[in-house]
């Protein structure tokens, strides 16, 4: 815990001048800031207004994940959308049901954005502005009672829901940590009663404006106080991370391969993409500077099968190739079935220097491969892998011979 607190302090002190705390504290908005590089992705700053709104003290919130404010009525789909936005390092805005420390629930407009390092384009913090929604209005998206996973009408499955839900750990943790006065049953009865009166909310234009202005204010402070330390932050990813330059000869050779593939460097933190083919950019809709330096996980999303991701991870760890069918997402959020092959690529000395990921979009529904005229998808995969391996190996031989 001690070392975790040290990391949380450093999260801010390494990046901004010391006066940033005071300046952020003076803002009238309700917001929190988290650090994704610290284990558990904890809150490293919580504004006065947020503490007032949630009823928690600063010590109870700093070091905790934002999920402690969720409960049995929080829409599971919304939680997954937040998780997805964090993984894809993008902004998200949604209505969210949360719980105060005393167990009462409230709707808020949740607006979250990544904070990028200007030097290397990495995400260093996430900011979330939480605007409490005051008026009760009908809303269309993920409803509290309309949602299939929400509380049952008669309350008979409530116990099941709570203990079976992804918020199980939150319920038990918060009960233990906060010593809530209400027993779990009382709390649930209370929630059900409240939910019967509470209509899901829609944010008004004024509330949406408040969240935008709050976000603008926070970013201008963070930018200003990062200028004082010289470790600049920005709201948009403004530079490509230093991912270890590929030699121009290798880039030229790889450029001749017309299929969709990326190379990642397994020796750099978080295994970033170091080369992306034109066909990959066309397939996914991203620009090159939006993918270089990022881990490939931004391609997966809400409905991507976790066991397939696990299989890929295990093959990488075992330094073995693998081929899977995986649901991936383009920049415009449309999904496609991808016949994905991941394989280690060795240099002329046999050392693994890259991983190549080859993507073939499947045309058929149900993830079934449709044979095209000519080569089967599997053969096309192998042919790309072969060409990439030859390009890397020849480039390492010519680099070796020019060095000697
Ligand atoms: C900056 C930031 C602030 C967050 N604040 C809240 C919050 O106030 N309430 C909430 O329900 N979730 C909040 N979250 C979302 C959770 O921390 C978590 O990311 C979400 O529940 C999805 O992940 P999980 O499935 O691991 O819980 C916040 C996330 C970030 C990045």
pLDDT, tens digit, 9 for 90 and up, residues 157-180: 333 333 323 344 444 444 444 444
Q: What is the pLDDT of residues 279-310, one digit of tens each?
A: 999 999 998 888 988 899 999 988 999 999 99
In the chain, where does the domain assigned CATH 3.30.450.20 lie?
2-234, 248-403
Say how many residues make up the chain: 404
Work out the average pLDDT over 40-69.
Answer: 96
Residue 52 corresponds to which tokens in the numbers above?
């007032």
pLDDT for res 119: 78
Ligand 1 neighbourhood includes 112 CB (under 6 angstroms): yes
Ligand 1 centroid to 80 CA: how many Å?
10
User: What percent of the chain is modeled with pLDDT above 90?
Assistant: 48
List the structure tokens of 119.
């030097």
Fold of 2-234: Beta-Lactamase (3.30.450)
User: Residue 82: CB within 6 Å of ligand 1?
Assistant: yes
Return the residue whose CA atom lies nearest to atom 22 of ligand 1.
83
362 CA from centroid of ligand 1 (Å):
34
The rounded mean pLDDT for the chain is: 80
Distance 338 CA to ligand 1 centre (A): 29
For 257-282, the pLDDT digits (tens) are: 999 999 999 888 788 999 999 999 99
CB of 67 shorter than 6 A to ligand 1:
yes
* Token pair for 352: 């693994």
Please write the tens of the pLDDT for every residue from 332-370.
Answer: 989 999 999 999 998 878 889 999 999 998 875 444 444
Q: What is the pLDDT of residue 200?
A: 60
Q: Span 121-143, mean pLDDT? A: 76
Tokens linked to 6:
């040290």
pTM: 0.61
List the residue whose alpha carbon is closest to atom 13 of ligand 1: 66
> Quick one: which atom of ligand 1 is closest to the CA of 125?
1
The pLDDT value given to residue 382: 86
- Check pLDDT > 50 for residue 181: no
Looking at residue 101, its pLDDT comes to 96
Q: Is the CB of 123 under 6 A from ligand 1?
A: no
Residue 243 confidence (pLDDT) above 70: no
- Quick one: angle between helices 377-403 and 248-255, nearest 10? 160
State mean pLDDT over 118-138: 82
Q: What is the structure's pLDDT at 267?
A: 85
User: What fold does the segment set 248-403 form as a domain?
Assistant: Beta-Lactamase (3.30.450)
Query: Which residue puts its alpha carbon closest to atom 3 of ligand 1?
Result: 128
């Amino acid at each position: 815990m001690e070392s975790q607190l040290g990391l949380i302090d450093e999260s801010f002190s390494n990046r901004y001048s010391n006066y940033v705390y005071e300046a952020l504290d003076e803002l009238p908005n309700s917001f929190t800031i988290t650090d994704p590089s610290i284990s558990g992705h904890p809150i490293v700053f919580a504004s006065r207004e947020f503490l007032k709104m949630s009823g928690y003290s600063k010590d109870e919130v700093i070091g905790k994940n934002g999920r402690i404010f969720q409960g049995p009525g929080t829409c599971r789909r919304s939680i997954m959308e937040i998780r997805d936005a964090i993984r894809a390092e993008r902004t998200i805005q949604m209505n969210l049901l949360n719980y105060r420390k005393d167990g009462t629930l409230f709707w808020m407009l949740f607006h979250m954005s990544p904070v990028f390092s200007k030097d290397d384009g990495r995400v260093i913090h996430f900011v979330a502005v939480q605007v409490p929604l005051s008026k009760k209005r009908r809303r269309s998206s993920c409803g509290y009672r309309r949602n299939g996973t929400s509380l049952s009408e008669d309350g008979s499955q409530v116990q099941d829901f709570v203990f079976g839900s992804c918020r199980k750990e939150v319920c038990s943790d918060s009960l233990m940590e906060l010593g809530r006065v209400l027993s779990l049953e009382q709390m649930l009865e209370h929630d059900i009663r409240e939910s019967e009166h509470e209509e899901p909310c829609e944010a008004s234009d004024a509330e949406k404006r408040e969240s935008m202005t709050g976000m603008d204010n926070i970013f201008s402070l963070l930018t200003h106080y990062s200028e004082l330390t010289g470790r600049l932050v920005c709201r948009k990813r403004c530079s490509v991370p230093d991912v270890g330059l590929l030699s121009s000869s290798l880039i030229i050779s790889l450029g001749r391969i017309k299929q969709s593939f990326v190379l990642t460097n397994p020796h750099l933190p978080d295994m970033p993409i170091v080369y992306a083919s034109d066909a990959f950019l066309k397939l996914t809709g991203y620009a090159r500077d939006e993918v270089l330096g990022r881990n490939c996980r931004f391609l997966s999303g809400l409905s991507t099968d976790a066991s397939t991701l696990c299989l890929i991870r295990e093959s990488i760890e075992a330094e073995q190739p693998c081929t899977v069918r995986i649901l991936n997402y383009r920049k415009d959020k449309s999904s496609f079935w991808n016949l994905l092959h991941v394989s280690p690529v060795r240099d002329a000395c046999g050392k693994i220097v890259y991983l190549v990921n080859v993507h073939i979009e499947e045309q058929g529904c149900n993830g079934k491969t449709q044979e095209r005229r000519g080569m089967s998808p599997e053969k096309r995969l192998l042919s790309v892998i072969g060409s990439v391996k030859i390009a890397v190996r020849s480039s390492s031989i010519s680099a070796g011979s020019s060095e000697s």
